[in-house]
Amino acid sequence: MRSNASLNWHRDMSGTNGFNTSGRANDGTASLSLEPDGQGYLGFASGVTLLRILQLCAGAIPLPQLDGPDNAREQQPMRIDQGLSLHDTSRFVDAYFQCYHLQYPILHEPTFRAQWNEIIPPPPPEQWEMLLNVVLGIGAFCAFEPLSVVEHFLDKSISAIGARHLQCGSLTLVQAFTLLSNLCQKSNRLNSGSVFLGIAGRMAMGLGLHRELPFWNINPFEREIRRRAWWMIYTFDSGSSITFGRPIVFPTTESDVTMVHNAPERSAFHMVGNRCYHRVISSPPPSIVEIHSLDTQILAWKETVPSWLQPNERSACPYQWLHFSAQKLFWRCCNLRIILHRRAFLERALKGLPLTTAEATFNSGNPTAGVTDNELELRSSEQCLENASQTIRSIHQFFVQPPRDRLEAWYGLHYLFHASFVPLIALHTDHGSRHRPEWVHDVSLTCEVLHTLRDDPLAKRCLSIVHLLSPSDSQVANICAPFDNNDLLAMLHSTDPPVISPSNDLVQTLLPFADLATLSSFWPMSAQ
């Protein structure tokens, strides 16, 4: 069993501007690092679970060259020796409101700009310094500035935090901690971001942002700003928890806050998604019948999405930011359905069972009516593959034109990472399916997108992983036998270096980020 100490994490500030120079490749999407030590807890729903299984299905191919010092040197930033000009900071503020703010309107732009230009008094200096620097950092991130510039503002914002920030509460601090948590994740500091989001959420509840008391004498503007802050915390908690496979922190039951009036669909999605995700990570896991019942709830939500938030062609939408918002919502939905259905997909893949069927014989209105559990499991496997394919093809279509800002690239890569491992696993495990050409095509589209975004270090790393773990014709011919515990165990012992030692617990070693109870259905003999 892996020791508790291996889940400890520490932000190494020894590198320039806080970059970790240890050579370990961290990422804010929890999808590309096979080494769990120092990363904190990553659960079954995290993308790295798929990568670990893909690595095994590909013959336990080691990936040491992708975590080596060369990769660390690529990400090593240059130190900012000279101060940034007023023109630079103005450009970063503009980038924040032109890109990030349109997706996450937690601030009020006229108020912030008036405070920044000293037209009206800003918040207390210690709070304003923290908020201003995180806004500048997010703006620099969106504007494709070097990561050293982003880290410069991120570290300044973190350095401004003192004990006084934790002994008082204000809407400004809630906004600052919320934005800081999101910038930390996008700067590959996933655990720091989780801590800051927890502070923001607890402070928000201390201010009563999770409730709307009818007798409060506050004006509509203030009430709307409070709503935006609360729902932003809620959606960030939902998104990051699902990304890292961790429990949802902020439940819906104690909140009665009205959804933001001009974008209720996104908040409604996270409410549905949280219910589904909570069951996925529960022990015991949901039955296959319940899985399809949860999926029906997601499909019912999809029916409520208006046409202007549907993933239409870019030319059909007059605003790029709205087109991106619609695509991102579609990718989120597909990602949730991948997580919901992938248990059946992975179980069938690891047992060498067919992942698809020639004909679908399911009732779309009631998918569980008159079918056996085995048929429902096959349907889940197909849904996992279908949603992965839809994600890949949508992202490929979106990036036919270069990304307008780094925010688009980051979210596109995040959902592409997770989806791309699904057809790769299928290619390694289901050699008789008539859908193999479609899976090959999906992998090809993935590589095209990653090549387009190759300037991003994580895109370059994912492209290397896809190339390394894609089955060649000879590999396909040699991996035709179904997996079972004994064969898989022998394969892992025979690799050089061995993936596991004879004393290791199989389940905990194969998927060290997942709960034993969650995974026991895959390898019941080894879990006893």
DSSP 292-314: HHHHHHHHHHHHTS-GGGS---G
The pLDDT assigned to 368 comes to 58
Work out the percent of the chain whose per-residue pLDDT is above 70: 70
pLDDT in tens, 120-171: 999 999 999 999 999 999 999 999 999 999 999 999 999 999 988 988 899 9
How many CA atoms within 13 Å lie on the side-chain side of 128?
14
CB-based contact 28:185 (threshold 8 Å): yes
Give the global pTM. Answer: 0.81
User: By C-alpha distance, which of 415, 409, 416, 417 is closest to 456?
Assistant: 409
The pLDDT assigned to 220 comes to 86
The total of other beta-carbon atoms located within 10 Å of residue 126's CB is: 14
CB-based contact 368:376 (threshold 8 Å): yes
User: By C-alpha distance, which of 403, 280, 283 is closest to 337?
Assistant: 280
pLDDT in tens, 440-485: 999 999 999 999 998 888 888 888 888 888 887 544 434 433 444 4
Domain residue ranges in the chain: 86-254
pLDDT in tens, 355-373: 998 644 444 555 555 578 8
Taking CA 183 as the corner, what is the angle to CA 199 and CA 191, rounded to the nearest 5 degrees?
A: 55
The pLDDT assigned to 497 comes to 42
Long-range interactions of 517-524: CB distance < 8 A, separation 24+: 517/283, 517/284, 518/43, 518/44, 518/281, 518/283, 518/285, 519/44, 521/285, 521/343, 521/347, 522/346, 522/347, 522/350, 523/485
The most confident of the ranges 52-56, 248-252, 312-316 is 52-56
The pLDDT assigned to 334 comes to 96
* Range 428-467 burial, b when 16+ CB lie within 10 A, else e: bbbeebebbebbeebbebbbebbebbeebbbbbbbbbbbe
Q: Which two tokens mark 324?
A: 């991106």
Residue with tokens 């920030």: 165
pLDDT in tens, 9-20: 455 544 433 334
CA distance 2 to 482: 28
CA distance 94 to 88: 10
How many CA atoms within 13 Å lie on the side-chain side of 190?
23
Q: Of all helices (H) and strands (E), which one includes residue 318?
A: none
pLDDT in tens, 411-433: 999 999 889 999 999 999 998 89
The most confident of the ranges 106-110, 240-244, 265-269, 371-375 is 106-110
CB-based contact 276:298 (threshold 8 Å): yes
pLDDT at 70 over 50: no
pLDDT at 501 over 50: no
The pLDDT assigned to 413 comes to 92
Q: Strand ranges (DSSP E) for 168-304?
A: none
Range 243-251 average pLDDT: 80
